[in-house]
Amino acid sequence: MAVSSKPANSIGEYLTDRGWISGVELHYARQSQGQLGGRLETCLLAQRALDEEQLLEALCEFHRLPAADAHDLHRASDEALRAVPAEVARRLRAVPFGIVGDELWVAVETAADESIGAELASITDLPIRLHISSEPRIAEALERHYDVACSQRIRQLLPRLDRKAAEPTAAPVLASSTQERAPATSAPQSDSGINVIPAGVLSALERRLTHTRTSQEIFTTLLDYFGREFRRVAIFRLSVDLVQGWMGRGGDIDEKKLRQLRLKLDQPSVFLNLLQGAPFHLGTLPPMDTHDALAATLGGSLPTETLLLPIRLAGRLVAVVYCDRGEQGMAGIDLGELQRMAAVAATSLERHLLHRKLRKTWAMRGLR
């Protein structure tokens, strides 16, 4: 793949220029950043668009700084930590982790602000050698060494980063729609009892989505995947002015009743919010006529926490995936992973529609 000779203005551009992430992955990461805040690269980690080792390599190249990894920050020396007051470390998002010769080595999450090194040198009376690290590792180190509280979002991401080295490398093969399916087994669980989708299943699912041939198969594959983690899953299609129930699984969902559901898009609802650009909905659905109709279709009631993910083609909302876990709630879900699957499904659907359009054109021209 050719790499642009024009310098990238952001880490997102840098990663796409080198083919390390796709434009779709960058788009969803930017949407997530707009909704949740934090750094773009953290959103990419949460989506599993790339792993921590790849991100650190990219950050080093982009910022032209050496790396400070989790191990470096975990074993930061007391002498280095004492050199920078807690208030300064918190404000600059900077973690001193060693003194080498007469230099103080300090990890930061961005080198965009050139004043950081100068300010640290002025405070410590030491030459500063900046190193780059990721936002989750800086947050983890600030909490460990300076008692600066970590955000809940980062706290949920860190265990997965720590488990990365222990993840299986061999990916199990998912049965195709024409193969006999193996008996269902329980998904593995984390220490908190939350279902965890194995990395191998995730990569196999991505391969299967990539090779689907019809929209029905694409969304059936999504139902298979989301059904591993959620009690109820439903897929809704959108037309110009309507939301239409389409496919569902789990709980008390009656697919025949679901397909009869029609909701107008000119009425206030979570669907209208997604249509207007919201990257997802996670939380309570407020009392509204449209939500009452949704609840009746899905079995009579809605839990306190629901997740709705949009499927967009060229920025246009074409479908929505609804998920809930009943009274179990949404604690511990990997939102980035789920968004990535929605993005892969959108790419597969776009490819399917393009192929269908091409076949129609060829048929009109008498070609095969």
CB-CB contact of 283 with 306 (8 Å): yes
Return the residue matching tokens 């279709």. Answer: 297
Whether the per-residue pLDDT at 107 is higher than 80: the answer is yes
pLDDT tens column, 292-303: 899 999 887 888
pLDDT tens column, 28-43: 889 888 888 889 999 9
pTM (two decimals): 0.49
Pick 8-163's CATH classification: 3.20.20.10, 3.40.718.10, 3.30.300.160, 1.10.10.10. 3.30.300.160
- What is each CA distance from 349 to 148, 221, 305, 358, in whole angstroms? 44, 12, 28, 14
pLDDT score at 95 = 96
Does the domain at 199-360 match CATH 2.70.98.60? Answer given as no
Given the DSSP bridges, would you call strands 128-132 and 103-108 parallel, antiparallel or unpaired?
parallel
Whether the per-residue pLDDT at 19 is higher than 80: the answer is yes
| Structure-token pair, residue 25 | 């992955």
Residues in contact with 332: Cβ distance below 8 Å, sequence separation at least 6, in sequence order: 156, 190, 192, 194
DSSP string, 159-170: HHHHHGGGS-SS
Among the residue ranges 220-224, 254-258, 277-281, 355-359, the one predicted with the least confidence is 355-359
DSSP state of 347: H
Whether the per-residue pLDDT at 78 is higher than 60: the answer is yes
The residue ranges of every structural domain in the chain are 8-163, 199-360
Percent of the chain with pLDDT over 70: 80
Q: How many CB atoms lie within 10 A of CB 40?
A: 17
CB-CB contact of 155 with 148 (8 Å): no
Whether the per-residue pLDDT at 137 is higher than 90: the answer is yes
Average pLDDT value over all residues in the chain: 80
Q: Report residue 97's pLDDT band, with 50, 70 and 90 as the boundaries.
A: very high
Whether the per-residue pLDDT at 188 is higher than 50: the answer is no
